[in-house]
Each structure stands twice: as structure tokens, then as C-alpha cells.
């Protein structure tokens, strides 16, 4: 598998991100690759596993990490292959749902993570929400933001929309899919800034662009929209449906935050997901929050910890 490694100097002087990366050598399909992750806080403390989506990286959690650490937690924040400091396969064909899911399961097992709070958004949820059902005894809490699983009939509606010509699509995801697949490049920092309500500074936009010196590093960012499982013919769909059954009977604690300004995974989609998570309380709704709602992360993290402490 041919892969690129972003030069470390690209990550110098990132605003509000003073953390030292750690690395795991890949196993199985990821053999020969290196995955980056943050590991902050006491090794025997409850774990906050922070999973990013596309096209972001662990930098997205810079406003939540300090809150979890101050509460005495241990924060593990990996970069998916193709993102952040992790190696980036050059061929889009090397990326798959199973490839990424197996890498995350391997990370949890090799670091022997226990008492885990899953913190997830976007692809961090598409993948992350399927992890706890494999070894439920390791997972205690859920903090979920702007993400989804294969929910019917919504998934079938999107699948039908994706079958239409790009200029005739009607769903939010269908439009995003069309835009993302029109180019062999992707303005990552601009996309995150737009999805965060254009609240980022120039330095923060540059930090989101840092993992990608040029378009040859962006195969993962470009291909990810095509990998979202909306039909039973796609890899990951049945795993997602099995995960829904797991969350229907969830025995742990949960907290949901919604960036309501997200045109794809806003209130309607997230309230639908809330109904599938047993015991999930009313969500924290951030009306001005966009898809990358972690940019309001300090508020979300504090509210989640307060909610968990009450139960």
C-alpha cells in the first residue's frame, strides 16, 4: 500500500494544540502504516475516546480535551488513516469502511482501554458507534454529536437520491456528495470553517489544512463521502444496523449535542438518532452550531460531564 507521511514541520505552532503525538504501527490491512494518536492524562483514569470525521483530524477536539483532562480523565484522540498525522494511502481504492473500523478496534485493544466514554461526530460516529457492541464491558458512556447510522427509511431516501444525476439531488448529503466528488482536490480548511459557521481564525483554518501539503495527500478526504453506507449493498450497512440494535438496549450513560445549523445532520436527523439510544436524555441544542460542532466543544464537554455526574 503506497502511502504518504505529512512532514512534522507542518504541525508546528498549531493554536491551542500543545499535545505530543504517539504512534501505532498498523496491523492486518494497515500493516506498514503508522497511526497517530494523542494520549493525555493519567493512564489509569476513565478514558475519553475522541473520534473525528471527514475531512478533519484530532485538532477538532482541542476545545474539549482540556475540559476532560481537568475533570481527571485520560484523552485518547486518534487520527484516522488519511488524516492528521497518520499515514495517508495514495489510492482511493485503499480506503474502506472495514479498513478504518478494524484500525479503531485494534487501537482500543492494543492500548487496553477501559471505562471508555465514546466521543464522536461525523465519521467518528459512523464508525465509532459500531465499536462498543464488540466488547461492551469496556464502554461506559456516550457523547454523540452530528453523526448517523443506517436509519430507515431515511437511508433508503438518501440512497435513491444518490442514484440521481448530481444536479438533480435533493437531500443535504446528496448535494454534499456531488460537490465533494467533482474534484481531485478539496479545500479542507475552508470546508471545516464553513461547516463551523465561519468562526475560525486564519491560523485555525491553516491547522485544518496542515495534514495536506498538496492534493496527493487527500485521497481519504475525497473518497470518504462515497463510503457512507446507505444501502444493504454497501460495506458497513449491516454492521450499522446491528449497532442500532445495540444502542436500542444501551445500559450506559449518554449525552447528545446538536449543531442545529448543520444542513445534513442537524436537529431532525439527530433527534431521530436520539430515539434509537436507550435512555438518551434531551440533547443540548446549539442553534448557531454547524456540522463541526466541536468548535463549541468546551460548552459541550462541560454540559456532558455535568449530566453524567447527575446520574
Look at residue 151 and tell me whether its pLDDT is greater than 80.
yes
To the query of whether residue 291 is one of the catalytic residues in this protein, the response is yes
Angle between helices 172-180 and 154-162 (to 10 degrees): 40
Look at residue 27 and tell me whether its pLDDT is greater than 80.
yes
Q: What pLDDT is recorded for position 96?
A: 97
- Give residue-wise pLDDT tens across range 88-131: 999 999 999 999 999 999 999 999 999 999 999 999 999 999 99
Determine which of 4-8, 25-29, 98-102, 211-215 has the lowest per-residue pLDDT on average. 25-29
- Give residue-wise pLDDT tens across range 152-195: 999 999 999 989 998 898 998 888 888 888 888 899 999 999 99
What pTM was estimated for this model as a whole? 0.96
Q: For a pLDDT cut of 70, what percent of the chain falls above it?
A: 100
153: preceding bond cis by omega (within 30 degrees): yes
Q: Which of 87, 94, 122, 161 is catalytic?
A: 122
Q: What pLDDT is recorded for position 53?
A: 96
Q: What is the chain's mean pLDDT, rounded?
A: 96
Strands 74-78 and 34-40: antiparallel
To the query of whether residue 122 is one of the catalytic residues in this protein, the response is yes
Q: Which of 79, 87, 161, 262 is catalytic?
A: 262
Q: What pLDDT is recorded for position 180?
A: 80
Look at residue 311 and tell me whether its pLDDT is greater than 80.
no
- Number of domain units in the chain: 1
Q: Which of 52, 100, 177, 291 is catalytic?
A: 291
Residues spanned by the domain of 90:
3-309
Tell me the CATH number at 137: 3.40.50.1820
To the query of whether residue 262 is one of the catalytic residues in this protein, the response is yes
- d(Cα 224, Cα 127) in Å, to the nearest integer? 12
- d(Cα 92, Cα 285) in Å, to the nearest integer? 35
Amino acid at each position: 500500500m503506497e502511502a504518504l507521511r505529512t512532514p512534522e514541520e507542518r504541525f508546528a505552532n498549531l493554536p491551542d494544540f500543545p499535545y505530543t503525538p504517539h504512534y501505532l504501527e498498523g496491523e492486518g490491512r494497515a500493516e506498514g502504516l503508522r497511526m497517530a494518536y494523542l494520549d493525555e492524562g493519567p493512564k489509569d483514569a476513565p478514558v475519553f475516546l475522541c473520534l473525528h470525521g471527514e475531512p478533519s483530524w484530532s485538532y477538532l477536539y482541542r476545545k474539549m480535551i482540556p475540559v476532560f483532562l481537568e475533570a481527571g480523565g485520560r484523552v485518547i484522540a486518534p487520527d484516522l488513516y488519511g488524516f492528521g498525522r497518520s499515514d495517508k494511502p495514495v489510492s482511493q481504492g485503499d480506503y474502506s469502511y472495514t479498513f478504518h473500523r478494524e484500525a479503531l478496534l485494534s487501537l482500543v485493544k492494543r492500548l487496553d482501554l477501559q471505562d471508555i466514554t465514546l466521543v464522536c461526530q461525523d465519521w467518528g460516529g459512523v464508525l465509532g458507534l459500531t465499536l462498543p457492541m464488540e466488547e461492551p464491558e469496556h464502554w461506559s458512556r456516550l457523547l454523540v454529536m452530528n453523526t448517523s447510522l443506517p436509519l430507515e427509511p431515511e437511508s433508503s431516501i438518501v440512497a435513491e437520491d444518490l442514484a440521481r444525476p448530481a444536479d438533480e439531488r435533493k437531500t443535504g448529503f446528496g448535494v454534499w456528495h456531488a460537490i465533494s466528488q467533482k474534484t481531485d482536490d478539496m479545500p479542507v480548511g475552508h470546508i471545516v470553517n464553513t461547516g463551523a459557521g465561519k468562526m475560525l481564525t486564519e491560523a485555525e483554518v491553516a491547522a485544518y489544512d496542515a495534514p495536506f501539503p498538496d492534493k496527493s495527500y487527500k485521497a481519504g478526504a475525497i473518497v470518504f463521502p462515497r463510503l457512507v453506507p446507505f444501502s444493504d449493498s454497501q460495506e458497513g450497512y449491516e454492521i450499522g444496523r446491528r449497532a442500532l440494535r445495540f444502542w436500542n438496549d444501551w445500559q450506559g450513560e449518554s449525552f447528545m449535542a446538536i449543531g442545529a445549523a448543520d444542513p445534513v445532520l442537524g436537529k431532525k436527523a439527530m433527534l431521530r438518532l436520539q430515539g434509537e439510544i436507550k435512555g438518551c436524555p434531551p440533547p443540548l441544542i446549539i442553534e448557531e452550531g454547524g456540522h463541526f460542532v466541536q468548535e463549541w466543544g468546551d460548552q459541550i464537554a462541560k454540559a456532558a460531564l455535568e449530566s453524567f455526574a447527575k446520574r
